[in-house]
Amino acid sequence: MGKKIDGKQIALQIRKEVQQKNEAFAAKYEMQPCLAVILVGNHPASLSYVQSKVKACKEVGMESRLIQLDAEVSEADLLKEIEKLNQDAYVDGILVQLPLPQHIHEDTVVYAIDPNKDVDGFHPINIGKMMLGVDTFYPCTPHGVIKMLEAISYDLCGKNVVVIGRSMIVGKPMAQLCLEQNATVTVCHSKTKDLTFYTKHADVIIVAVGKPLFLTEDQVSPGAVVIDVGINRNAKGKLVGDVDTESVLKVADYVTPVPGGVGPMTITMLLWNTIIAAERRVLAGTKNNHCFLG
Ligand code: GUN
C-alpha cells in the first residue's frame, strides 16, 4: 500500500518560510509585499479561489488588493486596470483570475501584465525564461508539484515522467520543470494513442486533465509516484481529483490526495513568487510606498 503525500503539511512549512521572509522584509524596508488580484465576474469557483488567495496573503503578513470587475467589463477597461497596477509602485504582484469571459482575449490580458509583477508566471517573457532555464517566476501549480517531490526527497534525475494534459497553466510548464531536473519527459493528451503504454512505463505520472477519477490502478506500475492536479466535483458535489486515489494507492508508492494534495501548494507558490517579486523590486529601486496611484 502506497502513501499519500500531505500537501497541506508541505504547504504549511513553505508558508512559514514565506512568513519569515515577509517579516524580515517588513522590518528592513518598512513596507509589505503586495499582491493585487483581479476577478472579472462572480463565477463561484473563481470567487472562492481569489478569496483563498487574499486570505493566504493575510495569514503570511502580506498585503493584498482584490479588484472585482463586472462580468460585462470591456477588455479596454480591464487593460486600463492592469496598467494602473503596473504603474503602482507599491504593488509587487498582479494576478488576473482565469478563465475570463468570452468577450475578453486572455492572451491580450496576460501580455499586458508587467513581467516583473507576473507572479502567475504566464507572461511570454517569463515562459521564455523558464524554457531557457533562467531563474524567473514559475507557474504556481507545476512549481508546487516540484516542491512536493523535493519534500519527499524524490530525485527526478533520469526518471521517466509522464505528464497527462498540455495546458499552459499546468501541463506544458510541468514538463519543462521536470526536464530541468533531468527527467525524461513524455507529454500525453487527448489525442495520445494507447495512454496506458506510457503510464505503465512511468516512474512519475502527473495528471492534469480535469476528468474525475481518470487514472486507474490498471494504468500504473508498482512503485510509481502519482501526482493528481485535478479538482473536480462528482455527482454528489464532493471534491475528487483526476486519479482514483484509493485504487491507485494499491500499486503506487505515493499518490497526492484531493483535497489536501497539490491544491494547497498552488497558493503557497503564489505567495512565494510575490515575496520574490517584492525583494527584486526593492533591489531595482522600483518599489516604494509614496507613489500611490489608487
Ligand atoms: N485559474 C486556475 N488556475 C489559475 C492560476 O494558477 N492562475 C490564474 N490567474 N488563474 C487560474
- Separate counts of helices (H) and strands (E) for the chain: 10, 11
* CB-neighbour burial class of residue 244 (10 A; exposed 0-12, middle 13-18, buried 19+): buried
Which of 39, 97, 117, 167 for a ligand 1 pocket mutation test, highest count of atoms within 8 Å of Cβ?
97
If you write DSSP's letter for every residue of 237-287 in order, what string do you get? Answer: S-EE-SB-HHHHTTT-SEE--SSSSHHHHHHHHHHHHHHHHHHHHHHHT--
Ligand 1 within 6 A of CB of 95: yes
| 138: its cell numbers | 514559475
Residues of the chain with pLDDT under 50: 291-294
Is there a contact between 291 and 86 (Cβ–Cβ < 8 Å)? no
CB atoms within 10 A of CB 79: 15
120 is catalytic: yes
C-alpha 97 – ligand 1 centre gap (Å): 5
| pLDDT computed for residue 294 by the predictor | 41
Q: Which helix (H) or strand (E) holds 35?
A: strand 34-40
The atom number, within ligand 1, closest to the CA of 139 reads 6
In the set 97, 114, 118, 242, the catalytic residue is 97
CA-nearest residue for atom 3, ligand 1, is: 98
| pLDDT computed for residue 269 by the predictor | 98
pTM as predicted: 0.96
Question: CA Rg, the chain, in Å?
Answer: 19
Predicted confidence (pLDDT) per residue in 188-237, tens digit? 999 999 999 999 999 999 999 999 999 999 999 999 999 999 999 989 99
Written as one letter, the residue type at 155 is D
Ligand 1 within 6 A of CB of 267: no
| pLDDT computed for residue 288 by the predictor | 85
Ligand 1 within 6 A of CB of 97: yes
Ligand 1 within 6 A of CB of 140: yes
| pLDDT computed for residue 289 by the predictor | 75
C-alpha 230 – ligand 1 centre gap (Å): 13
Nearby residues of 214 by Cβ (< 8 Å), 6 or more positions away: 164, 207, 230, 242, 243
In the set 21, 53, 159, 287, the catalytic residue is 53
- Of 123, 147, 177, 97, the C-alpha closest to 264 is 147
The atom number, within ligand 1, closest to the CA of 270 reads 6
C-alpha 98 – ligand 1 centre gap (Å): 5
| pLDDT computed for residue 290 by the predictor | 58
CB atoms within 10 A of CB 12: 12
Written as one letter, the residue type at 96 is V
Ligand 1 within 6 A of CB of 265: no
Which of 38, 46, 53, 95 for a ligand 1 pocket mutation test, highest count of atoms within 8 Å of Cβ?
95
| pLDDT computed for residue 104 by the predictor | 98
Which strands sit side by side in the sheet containing 63-69, from one edge to the other? 63-69, 34-40, 93-96
- Of 112, 90, 35, the C-alpha closest to 66 is 35
In the set 92, 118, 120, 203, the catalytic residue is 120
The atom number, within ligand 1, closest to the CA of 140 reads 6
Predicted confidence (pLDDT) per residue in 133-148, tens digit? 999 999 999 999 999 9
Ligand 1 within 6 A of CB of 47: no
If you write DSSP's letter for every residue of 188-238 in order, what string do you get? Answer: E-TT-S-HHHHHHT-SEEEE-S--TT-B-GGG--TT-EEEE---EE-TTS-
Is there a contact between 9 and 15 (Cβ–Cβ < 8 Å)? no
Which letter, b or e, does each residue of 37-67 get, where b requires 16 or more Cβ atoms within 10 Å of its Cβ? bbbbbeeeebeebbeebbebbeebbbbbbbb
